[in-house]
Structure 1
Amino acid sequence: MLGAWPVPVSYGGERACYLPQIDRIQLPERAAVRSAAGFYATWAHEVIHSTGHASRLQRDLSGRFGSKAYAREELVAELGSVLLGDQLEIGSAIENHAAYLDHWVELLKETPQLLYQVLGEVRRAVELVLLQRGDKQGTPAETDPTCQ
């Protein structure tokens, strides 16, 4: 199902990321990730990031690490990846999700109502991905050096 998402995926390198400038997902090779659940949770996380592209749901993807905009988008992507994993019945690495989300709790403590806004964005992102169930994705592209 994740392969049906129309954003091209490149494999290789050590990091996973979404590159909004070129609308591409970068993932490490499957063998570089400890578990299948971890690999698919990471892929789902990056797919959710890609739903924020200007051609889709138009979320603010410009935040730099440490900024509130970055933290908000990370909350959307991580919560979305949990929900998407559940909806697609591909499982998730729940311990990893919990540890990752712990980093962003400060943002929620500062602005508790943000959780409702973020959950609305998560719902829209997951629904958009699930609409793609019948589509096909092209062949993976070469590794993008900006994620390494």
Structure 2
Amino acid sequence: MEIVLDPPHGAGPVRLGMTAGEARAALASLGPLAPGGELAVDLPTGLRISVGFGVAGPTAQRVNAIELFRPDEDAGVVVRFRDVAVFGESAERVVAGLRRHTRVDEDDEACGFVAPELLLALSLDDERFASVLVARPGYYDTPAQAAARDEPGY
């Protein structure tokens, strides 16, 4: 199985901006939905995909983030951005591969790295990435930045 990260549009069948119903159907196309209140799918390979929703403004009740958690080793799952498999290599190699395509900054607060132009965020766990987040533009904005983004002519 291969899941392609396509920031700022989505990951695999899940697209940013989907309604909850659309996201539920997209996740269900991959496997049974996870029990509980979170909209997610846990695949037998260990890969977990969950979605988050906006709470206010134009993103209210729409998917504004998709997070994928590292599958089991040798599970036959590839999660990639262009030619870079984000879970298959050391974090150092993944960051070097991503930097061939975009700027990647270290993010001490999140214990990982962020590609700000893409809104692709990766969290570290023992020299490898544990998860990758694809988010809508403005996801990490402060309230002042969000207000400026909403102004005409932005």
Q: TM-score range by the shorter chain?
A: under 0.3
More strand as a share of residues: 2
Q: What is the TM-score when the length of structure 1 is the normalising length?
A: 0.26
Q: Which is bigger in relative contact order (C-alpha 8 A, separation at least 6)?
A: 1
More helix as a share of residues: 1
